[in-house]
Chain A
């Protein structure tokens, strides 16, 4: 048994860790085990979706082999433990790119599918699952299921965003997208309040592929921020950024993100970035993955770890709901530094339990202060519930079961596809097994 943690570092419970390093042995290893297990990739989800305290973790990072890549069609086939980083580095020099990528490239393909991750271009290209053509699922009863949007589509819809609960994803085929090179034409626009944010978001959707914003949820009750947008561009003969890696070397005894530090952090960040605002040519790595060069940044929240609270609420009530959440946060005195506000496009997701839905999503991080933090979450939950929104499973470590059930109306349909030999902390907490 080894202690395993996820990105939020909220727990380090013992797990029976089994490496699935050889695809030909996966079936033997996951079938009819003594206790339920769950697949675990890079451990970049924040809560308990990839954990299974006292149970088995099937670690997929050894399934890191490419299987085929057709340069003329952009079809890539690879094992599920391949990192998005390795795909980007392989295909971008050949004129292709992952159509959808989340805010870190240090995740596995299997994890990207099981969480149906989204990126800054949701309004144009949807989520990760929209680009998966086929996947291989190994069930713990030994059945091997090939599925995709046109083949056993029900299994595909259950597995994309299915939190790893329908079987172990071992292989996937992804349709990549043409790209001129690694550069983006980007613009940073400061905004003073939510009105301005929504106007910027609406104005940008037609002409910009990528949109996202950092929001200062402390200063003046929250609401100002920096809107970032970008389009792939053909900029030649530039040298790529050095990509110097820094590591957070220790876990500080208390969170470095706290009531004292947040106000100056936010103020400094806003003003420095405001000063730098405007157009630029930016390399894809700092644009898509701003934190990937700061290794183990999650340690800065101290030994008790931190929570992410990411919700999406429908557009009609979006502005009021976001305003109300910012108000609650301001009232609590705790705040979030890595606060991200983004609109989703008007499209239905592939997966039964996929997170994205038309509306606006707010992601917030909070150091774990126990009861005090949970009290704040209850107030935020009330706003999300009222707005008929939902919370992102990949980030969640604590939402109440009724909020999950209300937010994910296709849950009953999904349950038919669950694998009885698979269980996670999250599935026991929210689905009862």
Chain B
């Protein structure tokens, strides 16, 4: 046991960490540039900034604050966040970006350049994933931040007081955290799916159905859903409504101290699977 530990420690200290860091930096430079500026990313930007535009128009139309008041607008923002950002915007944004990280290289027949570089494939997974995460998290967090600013900014001093002296700032931080965690969770899953399926759209739709209707599954199984953790972390609770609530199983709520590490662990587990998968990946573009 001690010998095994000593061997592990030795291989850890002897690992070429500086080289790996330099390689990770190089992968990030290539991939962030690709993700940010390629034509395919335009619809992700559009998807992300639709609600921002709505909140902007809302602010312009009601320059001194809307009739719904701050608490009404807070509820509206919570609905938009949970039903648009989490279930549509971030979900499809991650689907579009993360499934293309490797599939895109296969379609464009350029993955072999990475496979012929002195880079561990696991490092390639980590680098591409981080690049995707940085891109979508940046885009959607910017959208949330702008939307939040528009929503409370047009209330003037009352809005500022809500944000800086009331619960507003805490809400904002929570939304930014949930956005980042959503990108992490959905991103890892879509990356792994793209390594398993040639066409990840169908499994993506299955995932969407699961994420939407997971509440009717047994309480324990619900914990395998990304949305399960995310909704628990949202600062404003939305009461369950509609037909499905008849079948919903109320799972025991989890504290943020479990939800955040739970989601991170889920993503890490999925990425470990992706790392194992890519080790066996062969270049056969003709089959694709």
The answer on A and B forming one complex is: no
Interface residues of A (CB under 8 A from B): none
